[in-house]
Amino acid sequence: MRLLYLFLFTFVNMSFAADIYNPASNQLSIPSVQVGPTTYNNVVITVGQILSIGSSSNKNTYIRIQTNVGSMDFQLFPVNAPLTVQNFLNYANAGFFNGTIFHRVIPNFVIQGGGLTAGVVSKVPTLAPIQLEMPNGLSNTQYTIAMARTADPNSATSQFFINLVNNANSLDYINALNPGYTVFGITSNNFGLGAQSNATINTIANTPTQTINGYSNVPVADVVIQSVTVLNN
């Protein structure tokens, strides 16, 4: 449970419904609270001191990509890219990513994975392609995670990539003819592991590559995604 400290005289736009006050504990229970654009559910206020928030309908999501060379934590942004985040979580929760590889490694550009297995074999079936969500207020800057796709802007399925450098100029939305690639998260230091996440990404980025089965930039030693776990569900 997340705790936010709030003095009662703070000016916040809130709407309360079906409030229940317990004089024994000096607590006010509120089914839902609207703070700006965000709705919080199961709120408990210790009067004059603490606002305790059970959940938020717009809360960010934290995930861990565990590979055979280390782990990477990301903060995902469902407010900016709701379809993309939900699509990614659908694959993660189904275990689809388990056993897939990072099959494309280009130093000073991106590492890409989530759709092929050892030997560069496509993992099927995938879910239906999703709609491009760009521009969405996010940018293909260093250590962001974004969806890979074909020339069709609305063709992304399971494959994603991680930007090794700031690729905003080449991968962000410009216009309808250059629609860019949907960014939906960034490496997170929420659990104190930001440096570890970036180190894992850099380890993958520096792995030797080869051409195999018509695919170039494939790591010589497989970089395997062992699991993708949602950390705050």
Q: What is the pLDDT of residues 98-127, one digit of tens each?
A: 999 999 999 999 999 999 999 999 999 999
Give the integer Cα–Cα distance in Å for 217 and 199: 20
Say which DSSP state 153 is in. T
Question: What percent of the chain shows pLDDT beyond 70?
Answer: 73
Give the CA diameter of the chain.
71
Q: What is the CATH number of domain 61-230?
A: 2.40.100.10
pLDDT of residue 43: 55
The closest of 161, 168, 150, 206 to 65, measured between CA atoms, is 161
pLDDT digits (tens, 9 = 90+) for 54-101: 333 446 799 999 999 999 999 999 999 999 999 999 999 999 999 999
According to DSSP, the residues that pair with 105 across neighbouring strands are 111
pLDDT of residue 194: 75
pLDDT of residue 195: 87
The residue type found at 87 is: N
pLDDT of residue 86: 97
The closest of 56, 110, 61, 69 to 88, measured between CA atoms, is 61
Structure tokens at 63: 């995930």
Tokens 């709609």, located at residue: 131
pLDDT of residue 32: 60
pLDDT of residue 53: 34
According to DSSP, the residues that pair with 116 across neighbouring strands are 122
According to DSSP, the residues that pair with 4 across neighbouring strands are 51
Structure tokens at 172: 């962000």
Domain ranges of the chain: 2-56, 61-230
Q: For residue 189, is pLDDT > 80?
A: no
pLDDT digits (tens, 9 = 90+) for 12-44: 344 434 445 555 554 556 666 554 445 556 655
Buried b (16+ CB within 10 A) or exposed e, 28-50: bebebbebeeeebeebbbeeeee
User: If you average pLDDT over residues 170-189, what whole number do you get?
Assistant: 96
Least confident of 107-121, 123-137, 152-166, 185-199: 185-199
Give the integer Cα–Cα distance in Å for 146 and 83: 13
Q: Are 169 and 181 in contact (CB under 8 A)?
A: no
Question: What percent of the chain shows pLDDT beyond 90?
Answer: 69
Average per-residue pLDDT in the chain? 83
User: If you average pLDDT over residues 149-174, what whole number do you get?
Assistant: 98
Q: Are 131 and 157 in contact (CB under 8 A)?
A: no
Which residues lie below 8 Å from residue 97, measured CB to CB, with a gap of 6+?
65, 91, 114, 158, 225, 227, 228
pLDDT of residue 20: 59
Tokens 């419904």, located at residue: 17
> How much is the pTM?
0.75
pLDDT of residue 232: 81
Give the integer Cα–Cα distance in Å for 74 and 36: 25
Structure tokens at 200: 């894992």
pLDDT of residue 46: 45
The closest of 95, 210, 91, 94 to 145, measured between CA atoms, is 91
Q: For residue 10, is pLDDT > 50?
A: no
pLDDT of residue 176: 95
